Structure 1
């Protein structure tokens, strides 16, 4: 028993060390996350076509920053190919800054004003052979990669619109800078923007902890409670020793120190020495971390020492005449443990029920954003530039449209998703409330592969790119309207799509496209189609229920069907598949094709699809992980309490149980008193749970049934194992 107590004390010290390590790492990454807001004030560049050109905007930002002696920062979050969070910081320096005060470099140097204005140098926690990396950020337990780059590099990955931070020093104020910046924009574009258009109206959330320490704290508290009970059991087992010491005139306090105090002091010294050695030799260790480690260990053992005072009261109760006969008083311990088990079981059920409710809510929220997860793998061209096509644009951009259409087969082969849901945008529906036609959406086969649509026989639908017929996926509940649907899409194709290609774009349209054969595939009703458009049914998580779907192939479509690069950011129908989730690498692959079709002056920037969705998913992952960790802690606590109660009960009547079993009496008959007490305690727990929760719910009932079965099975197994291990000992007269 002494060895087990020492083991749990060392485990508790280990958890204290891990908590200190995690808290220190979290503090570092939190400081880095909040660098922008700690030194600067937020402002926003609105999503406006006039402000979408990165080159023009970086010039305006730099001009205003230099004039008003301002530093500009922009934070961003991304996911790597292995789903790890990447934290990116983009900076523009025009003067001295406090930005780097909270950052330490393991090697290299910080970015200078010149570096952020005209170079591509950067800092990162990850050491690479890239000549542009001029410094490595010191990291302590951080698993996320952190990079700090010049502000102009942000436009390789992000659109211009978004949140920025301004650090002001000297005689100018934040209001002076913002006013001057807006004035320069209005002069440049002959616009009428106001300061209010650039003020940050929504709350900016910069809080972030890479890994929560709450679960580690809970585990440590659990270990401390178990250690306390082990100390009590240890003292109970040492009853004979206590009686002998009392017989020799030892005081109760001296006996406590002899049996418990020395054990705690020796284990504390060993744990402290081990923790200090680990802290010193840990890569990236700091003096503050070492001191925090020492303080955490001292506090941990002060708590254990305070709890161990309870064993002193047991020592006082030990009677010499009973102790020297090796008779142990387990009644009070058993009653106390039973009460504690009832309290803990009720708490576990109540907390478990609440956790299930919360988990259901989180999973519901996650399922709402689940479809947006795929946005990590896609980007959009934003903005769409006029380039050298001003005359063509003045005529409605027929040549530009034809050029963009030439690149569609390349993007399609790369896995681009086409999903045009503009007819379901809330603004479109509001402006066309009197529309009498049939609304539909347009998708390509890549979309069907990523988001399967099922036919009436529940089989996923796939359409070959060589298909020449006009394919309509129609919910089977509309079968009675078959003729009406066919008539509408024939007329719509002839009146709008064909006319657009022939008359406006001047393209030859073959007869099979002018008068297409329409093939309807009936789909299962009730399917929710992800629109991939943040402007579609926001309250329904951008889902459309049972729309009619036109499937675009390279052979059955007109240019109007594939004209989906609009420069409208996340609303664009065409989502470009990114190479390793890197928009810059993907853009480098596309540059030769863009030059070939004279689009390099129109499609300059490929940006990540939905930064907001990525942040939401990151927060939900963290929330679910915390809930699962809590559930694991509760399950471990319950099992330990059950085993402890079984051990106490067996020790209380061990001679009776062993004799019964030796004479062949069955398990349940032998332990019928235990089983009776078990169900009485459970009746008390059941009533207590209903009173606390003010009724019974499905989740509460699930927790009660699960806990009842778990405790019953665990108790039976524990009693069988305890009986087998103690049978010989009891037969020889031991206790």
Structure 2
């Protein structure tokens, strides 16, 4: 009786959770749609961008003056949108538990724009409009006069919108603007340089409901249906009595199934209450009806089968055995799903742990890095931001920073990449920290003013030189213009030439040395892979005894000058990179926990039924063997064999080559131990209840 009440309570609670999550999901989508509609500018504005970005407030002020003059002469209104995406800063550090998306609109003539109509604010007279959305955590929209854009603004990246849809007026405005900018900045651009050609340049927010939410909802549905079926199986003895007393199937079905099905309907009535509160949940109600229909159909078919074979001992035994195996198979599939879904999380944890172990080089504590790199007002990439990154690198290089990029090394690149192209990029500062010796055991020294491409080949790879030189001439303008300088090292003399991060000896790698004079002003060979957002960035800033706070204070004005301060929320010690990444990844692990917990509950409930079925069939033999002193392992050996057989089959479903076999099999073993322990507790409970009934 207790088991049945427990299953009824479980069904009610999880149906209520399903209703709540469904309501949240529906409302989240509604708010996301509203938010995108409100910032939609396509019905009243033509977007445009500036062909260059201001690096300080003075330049930005001159740009605004040019825009205002052009707007006045054409009698048009315009606005600028400044976007920020990243983490809130708390006590100087990013708060990884939250995220921010801010859409800030600065309107030239705020009282005249039709844009306020998107928010239902036409005719109002405020100096600032601010909108937040309860379910879109961290998302905010502000609308204020353009004059506010000059106050407390560190970053001057943004996109502009001209309030007209007439192409002639737009062209006239852009020509006037270009003329005024040319006068003030001695530049000239084509009309096409002002055009927004990609959707990403509109700086639109992205709203994505928790990707685990749909998974949770699906698992909840499975769990509810399984709990319902298990409840009905526990009522088999009552069904036999009904049939024995001449009750029809319909009468028997209603007598037994009315309670669990009524509980499901009661829980789903919560959605009706929400509808009366004014929420549009028509789609959700349809889904709930579908779930109820699925539960009803499953219950009907199961009980029909049970009713047909009731009172026939042989058929009951076959039916029970088949059902036992089917539920065991379902549990196996769910178990494989759970292991596969947790394996990526295991990868994250193990990779992070390995990285933490690798950060043992004492020299790493003398360097810092920018981490994480966030989108900010605009994402950084090595092509579009090449000039800015180049200037940042040059300043860091003068201050003793190291450049180390092993993404092209032979131990990272796949085997199909030609070995002559596999190399490691370093700067001269790195050679000072880790000297490299030539074939005569002399330290390799390079001229920092050199503009040549410098390649150091280990003598063991001398046969690759001709192929690499041919490739350099084919793909590198710098190599064609200034030539390639080839030097040779001897691995025998370079046991201490190591990867500063992992401590791995790299004496057998081709080394591409980049002196300051080789950083070209044009985007011919974009080689700087810095501010990458990885926990081990390629650029290691020298601390030289200073603190991280002072280093940030020193670099903040420089990063602001190149509009990169929004992408670089903090400096961290280089040897703390892996632990900092682990903080971010832990948030993902917690996000997984709810859906995986529900799946685990479903698996355990199936295990409980399978064990309960085995116990009920063998209760007499189990009691007798317990009296004779049989061990639990021996007493339940058929079930333990069945359990072991299930777990031994899971490796057959290992198909994802991107998942570590070690992690997959480790999780398989851990779940076996966990289930074995839980089932032992359940056996103790069943045997205790059986003894009470005997008394």
Q: If the length of structure 1 is used for normalisation, what is the TM-score?
A: 0.60
Tell me how far 1:620 sits from its aligned partner. 8.6
Q: Is the 8 A contact 1:91 1:149 kept in 2?
A: yes
Note if contact 2:128-2:143 (Cα within 8 Å) is conserved in structure 1. Answer: yes
> How many Å apart are 1:80 and its aligned residue?
2.8
Deviation at 1:21, TM superposition (A): 1.9
Once the two structures are superposed, residues 403-451 of structure 1 have per-residue CA deviations (whole angstroms, 9 ceiling, x without a partner) of xxxxxxxxxxxxxxxxxx999939999xxxxxxxx9944179xx9xxxx
Quote the residue 2:320 is aligned against. 330
Deviation at 1:641, TM superposition (A): 4.1
SS in structure 1 opposite 2:134?
Answer: coil
Does the C-alpha gap of structure 1 residues 361 and 222 become closer, same or farther in structure 2, counting only changes over 3 Å?
same
Tell me if the contact between 1:47 and 1:161 (Cα under 8 Å) persists in the aligned partners.
no
Other-structure match for 1:185: 181
**For the Cα contact (< 8 Å) 2:338–2:596, is it kept in 1?**
no
CA deviation digits over 1:275-302, x for unaligned, max 9?
Answer: 444676xxxxx72446566555444434
1:143 is aligned to 137
Partner of 2:51: 46
SS at match of 2:322: helix
Q: Determine the structure 2 residue equivalent to 1:74.
A: 81
Confirm whether residue 574 of structure 1 aligns to residue 555 of structure 2: yes
The alignment status of 1:312 with 2:293, answered yes or no, reads: no
Asked if residue 89 in structure 1 is aligned to residue 83 in structure 2, the reply is: no
Please state how far the C-alpha of 1:81 moved relative to its aligned partner. 3.1
Q: Which moved more, 1:332-341 or 1:624-633?
A: 624-633
Q: In the alignment, which residue of structure 2 is the partner of 1:200?
A: 196
Q: Does 2:148 align with 1:153?
A: yes
User: Do the aligned residues in 1 keep the contact of 2:625 with 2:635 (CA within 8 Å)?
Assistant: yes
What residue is the counterpart of 2:466 in the other structure?
none
Q: Name the residue aligned to 2:27.
A: 24
Deviation at 1:335, TM superposition (A): 1.1
The answer for the alignment partner of 1:56 in structure 2 is 62
Partner of residue 253, structure 1: 250
Q: Residues 163 and 656 from structure 1, CA distance in 2 versus in 1: closer, same or farther, beyond 3 angstroms?
A: farther
- Structure 1 residues 169, 479: CA separation in 2 closer, same or farther (over 3 Å shift)? closer
Do the aligned partners of 1:13 and 1:300 also contact (CA within 8 Å) in 2?
A: no
Separation in 1 of the partners of 2:212 and 2:331? Answer: 21
How far apart, CA to CA, are the structure 1 residues paired with 2:205 and 2:7?
41
Between Structure 1 and Structure 2, how many residues are aligned? Answer: 543
Query: RMSD of the alignment, in Å?
Result: 5.4
Q: Quick one: structure 1 residues 546 and 217, their matched pair in 2 at CA, closer, same or farther if it must change by over 3 Å? A: closer
**1:656 paired residue number:** 621
Cα–Cα, structure 1 residues 422 and 194, in superposed 2: closer, same or farther, change >3 Å? closer
8 A contact 1:422–1:428 mirrored in 2: no
- 3-state SS of paired residue (1:287): coil
* Residue 708 in structure 1 maps to residue 669 in structure 2: yes
Distance between the aligned counterparts of 1:546 and 1:163, measured in 2?
Answer: 30
The 1:619/1:658 distance shift into structure 2, 3 A limit, reads same
Deviation at 1:652, TM superposition (A): 3.5
1:474–1:378 distance in 2 versus 1, CA, 3 Å: farther
Cα gap change, 1:216/1:545 in structure 2, threshold over 3 Å: closer, same or farther? closer
TM-superposed deviation, 1:363: 11
* Cα pair distance change 1:46/1:627, threshold 3 Å: farther
* Residue 442 of structure 2 corresponds to residue 442 of structure 1: no
Unaligned runs of 5+ in 1: 116-120, 125-136, 281-285, 380-420, 430-437, 448-471, 490-522, 555-561, 565-569, 584-604
Alignment of structure 1 residues 521-600 onto 2, 5 Å: 526-527=499-500, 538-539=528-529, 541=531, 551=544, 574-575=555-556
Deviation string 1:364-399 (CA, Å, 9 cap, x unpaired) is 99x9xx9544678999xxxxxxxxxxxxxxxxxxxx
Q: Conserved in 1, the CA contact under 8 Å of 2:47 and 2:161? A: yes
- Deviations 1:212-238 (CA, angstroms, capped at 9, x unpaired): 1x4233223222222222222222222
Distance in 2 between residues matched to 1:157 and 1:255, nearest whole Å: 74
Distance 2:189 2:659 in 1: 55
Q: Tell me, what secondary structure is at the counterpart of 2:196?
A: coil
* Residue number among 11, 14, 17 corresponding to 1:14 in the alignment: 17
Answer whether contact 1:346 1:685 (CA < 8 A) is retained: yes
- Distance change >3 Å, CA 310–CA 61, structure 1 → 2: farther
Q: Is the Cα contact below 8 Å between 1:68 and 1:176 reproduced in 2?
A: no
In the alignment, the residues of structure 1 paired with residue 41 and residue 246 of structure 2 have an alpha-carbon distance, to the nearest angstrom, of 65
Q: Does 1:348 align with 2:338?
A: yes
